[in-house]
Amino acid sequence: MVALVTPMHADGSVDWQALERLVNWHIEQGTHGIVAVGTTGESATLGFREHDEVIERTVEIVDKRIPVIAGTGGNATDEAIRLTRHAKRVGADASLLVCPYYNKPSQEGLYRHFHAIAMAVDIPQILYNVPSRTGVDMLPETVGRLAEIDNIVAIKEAKGSIERIHDLIEHVGDGMDIYSGDDGTAMESMLVGGKGNISVVANVVPRLMSDMCLAATAGERERAERLDADMQSLHTALFMEANPIPVKWALQDMGWIEAGIRLPLTPLAEHFHEYVREALRGLDLLRD
């Protein structure tokens, strides 16, 4: 599944035509699901109305061809419930709920936050743990408790630790699916039992990422390793600055989107341009 960027014009307004092009391209290239307005989609800087509109428009463009997962998390429980209710109303297939950021709730606070959302909105829900960005790490024991709730169906785990994937599998059993949220360790996560990858790198190489995920989830280690090796330069280059700065610059360089990004994020620093461009060039991703 691609953690899709939100394309913007140079003035920061949402570029609806580019969004349609990107979504159709991903479907043509074999992407298995679209995550709309996750953190890669700059959810933190889109207003409520924009957030709702991007999800609604993505659902319309996809037109049931593949699942749409709506990013509806927040650090206020009431806000997350409001966004999740809207996502269900407009036809999203599931929601992706990031751990509350900055306010650093306890493990009990995390449990109650996600429990409240699950009770309020009857839609399949995917938890999202990314401690490097939120400042809080949802532990496997807490995830195990949440796995007992029927409509909490999966977790996107972005700690970047294979040990954590093993721990989650031990705690949740068949209670939920485990997806990687870290491109650099995604292949190994799937080979040890993860069910997929919610990917930033897929923004620029959807077919390659799709093929790697299919190989890894099928247990085809040799093929998965070969495909993942082709993406190693992207795993590094697309995280040289805070996501989604490098991936939006890459898509701009590839001709897919304009140079739009919302403050306080700024365009990729010039001294990183050639690193990203070299990674793109190595996979023949730049247009003449």
Of the candidates 15, 145, 3, 142, the one whose C-alpha atom is nearest the C-alpha of residue 73 is 3
Q: Is the CB of residue 201 less than 8 Å from the CB of residue 183?
A: yes
The amino acid present at 75, given as its one-letter code, is N
Beta strands in the chain (DSSP E): 2-3, 34-36, 68-71, 94-98, 125-129, 152-157, 177-180, 196-197
Catalytic residue among 111, 156, 179, 248: 156
Give tens-digit pLDDT for 153-173.
999 999 999 999 999 999 998
162-168 long-range Cβ contacts below 8 angstroms, 24+ apart: 162/188, 162/189, 162/192, 164/140, 165/189, 165/192, 165/193, 165/194, 166/192, 166/193, 167/140, 168/140, 168/143
Give tens-digit pLDDT for 130-139.
999 999 999 9
Catalytic residue among 88, 101, 111, 128: 128
Average pLDDT taken over every residue of the chain: 97
Known catalytic residue at 275: no
pTM: 0.96
**Residue ranges of the binding site for pyruvate:** 40, 198
Known catalytic residue at 156: yes
Q: Which CATH number fits domain 2-218: 3.20.20.70, 3.20.20.110, 3.50.50.60, 3.40.50.300?
A: 3.20.20.70
